[in-house]
């Protein structure tokens, strides 16, 4: 198992302190099909259930990732990443995150006995910061937004390994499991549509890689808040608009690092990219809450997106999955 550059194909070991190629290309993971990824470090994670719901006369299927140990889907990536680098002897890590990834990686790092520092934008939610600190990680607050947190961690790594959920392909490797899991739960059927809230595209890329291994792709519909929609603009060839604050904090990513990968995955799936308004995200969160499903706003964006996309009807036989990416207690 090793990393290679997606541009020039140069190879790097997993434990490398390079987080991208010297040529500037992003890393991908090379792994032999038969090579098992052992994961002795666990927090009691489990296959998350599917929950059918009906709304506006249409049926959807929620994938309850909000029930994972730290309350978000990112536990899947964190588990694989931490297990692999722990096996390679890494003892000290740093990363940047505005929320769920920071909590997930801090939790699994704690289980592995690693020293962990998380750079967060200084407007990150208090709940998020409290959770990351609760796992014993050190917090460094960085002013002026998420991108600055990314720049700051890279400039101050020292001897720490950059355990990034955006740069490090081991994170996507962990996300892949969700594709196989939901297909098994659907008695071997690949879903027809998956509505995916997209910020950095972690979930979309992970699911794409997972379904590629299964041999068929669902239609991926990426959902972005209209106030910050770089993937939507790029996909539809629109002029970039100024990026504003949205209530869906996890989706406030102005420049996704793997944009071209995200676009090609959506195209390959004959999917689409749509936007939703903050007020619709809020109303979708309430509707889910009033059915007993309490999720964070970015998860509600997927539901709002599905309602918008199928406004004029949805064929009954379409299996439409809405991943509930995070617990509402987070914010
Ligand atoms: Zn390269």
Render 241-289 in DSSP notation, one character per residue: PPP---S-GGG--SS-TTHHHHHHHHHHTT-EEEEE-HHHHHHHHHHHH
Distance CA 117, CA 162 (A): 10
Closest to 208 (Cα-Cα) out of 175, 238, 171: 175
- Global pTM reads 0.93
pLDDT at 35: 78
Would you call 1 exposed, middle or buried from its count of C-beta atoms within 10 A (0-12, 13-18, 19+)? middle
Rg of the Cα trace of the chain?
19
* Predicted pLDDT at 331: 65
Q: How far is CA 180 from CA 35, 278, 324, in A?
A: 17, 32, 17
Q: What pLDDT score was predicted for residue 36?
A: 76
- Span between the terminal Cα atoms of the chain, in Å: 37
How far is Cα 255 from Cα 263, in angstroms, rounded to an integer? 13
Check residue 252 and give its pLDDT: 85
**Would strands 2-5 and 11-12 be described as parallel, antiparallel, or unpaired?**
antiparallel
Whole-Å CA distances, 230 to 8, 177, 235: 26, 27, 9
Distance (Å) from CA 7 to ligand 1 centroid: 5
Could you tell me the distance, in angstroms and rounded to a whole number, from the CA of residue 4 to the centre of ligand 1?
8
pLDDT mean values, one per 10 residues, the chain (331 residues): 95 94 95 82 95 95 97 96 95 92 97 97 89 96 86 93 94 94 97 96 95 96 96 96 86 89 97 97 96 95 97 94 93 65
CA–centroid distance, residue 60 to ligand 1 (Å): 42
Q: How many Å lie between the centroid of ligand 1 and the Cα of residue 210?
A: 24
**Distance between CA atoms of residues 29 and 169, nearest Å:** 6
| Structure confidence at residue 146 (pLDDT) | 77
Distance 157 CA to ligand 1 centre (A): 21
Cα of 27 from ligand 1 centre, angstroms: 8
Rounded Cα distance between 21 and 258, Å, is 14
Question: 162 alpha carbon to ligand 1 midpoint, in Å?
Answer: 18
If you search the block for the tokens 């939703």, which residue do you land on?
276
What is the per-residue DSSP string for 39-67? ----SS--PPPEEEEEETTEEEEEE-GGG
Whole-angstrom distance, CA of residue 272 vs CA of residue 164:
27
Tell me if residue 294 falls in helix, strand or coil.
Answer: coil
Q: How far is the CA of 5 from the centre of ligand 1 (A)?
A: 5
Domains of the chain: 50-67+176-330 (3.40.50.1100), 75-169 (3.40.50.1100)
Alpha-helix residue ranges (DSSP H) falling in 114-201: 126-134, 146-155, 169-175, 177-185
């Amino acid at each position: 198992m090793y990393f290679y550059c997606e541009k020039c194909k140069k190879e790097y070991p997993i434990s490398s302190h390079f987080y991208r190629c010297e040529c500037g290309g992003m890393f991908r993971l090379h792994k032999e099909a038969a090579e098992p990824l052992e994961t002795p470090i666990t927090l009691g994670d489990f296959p998350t259930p599917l929950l059918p719901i009906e709304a506006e006369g249409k049926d959807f299927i929620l994938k309850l990732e909000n029930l994972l140990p730290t309350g978000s889907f990112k536990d899947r990536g964190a588990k694989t990443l931490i297990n692999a680098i722990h096996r390679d002897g890494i003892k000290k890590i740093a990363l940047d995150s505005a929320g769920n990834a920071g909590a997930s990686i801090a939790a699994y790092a704690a289980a592995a006995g690693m020293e962990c520092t998380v750079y967060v934008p200084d407007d990150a939610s208090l709940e998020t910061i409290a959770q990351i600190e609760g796992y014993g990680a050190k917090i460094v607050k960085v002013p002026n937004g998420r991108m600055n947190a990314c720049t700051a961690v890279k400039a101050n790594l020292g001897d720490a390994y950059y355990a990034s959920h955006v740069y490090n392909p081991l994170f996507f490797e962990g996300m892949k499991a969700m594709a196989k899991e939901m297909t098994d739960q659907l008695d071997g059927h690949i879903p027809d549509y998956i509505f995916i809230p997209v910020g950095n595209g972690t979930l979309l890329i992970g699911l794409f890689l997972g379904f590629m291994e299964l041999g068929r792709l669902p239609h991926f519909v990426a959902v972005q808040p209209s106030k910050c929609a770089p993937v939507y603009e790029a996909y539809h060839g629109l002029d970039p608009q100024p990026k504003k604050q949205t209530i869906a904090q996890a989706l406030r990513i102005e420049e996704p690092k793997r944009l071209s990968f995200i676009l090609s995955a959506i195209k390959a799936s004959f999917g689409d990219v749509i936007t939703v308004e903050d007020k619709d995200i809020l109303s979708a969160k309430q509707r889910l809450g009033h059915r007993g499903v309490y999720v964070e706003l970015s998860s509600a964006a997927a539901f709002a997106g599905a309602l918008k996309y199928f406004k004029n009807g949805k064929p009954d036989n379409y299996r439409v999955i809405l991943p509930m990416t995070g617990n509402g207690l987070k914010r």
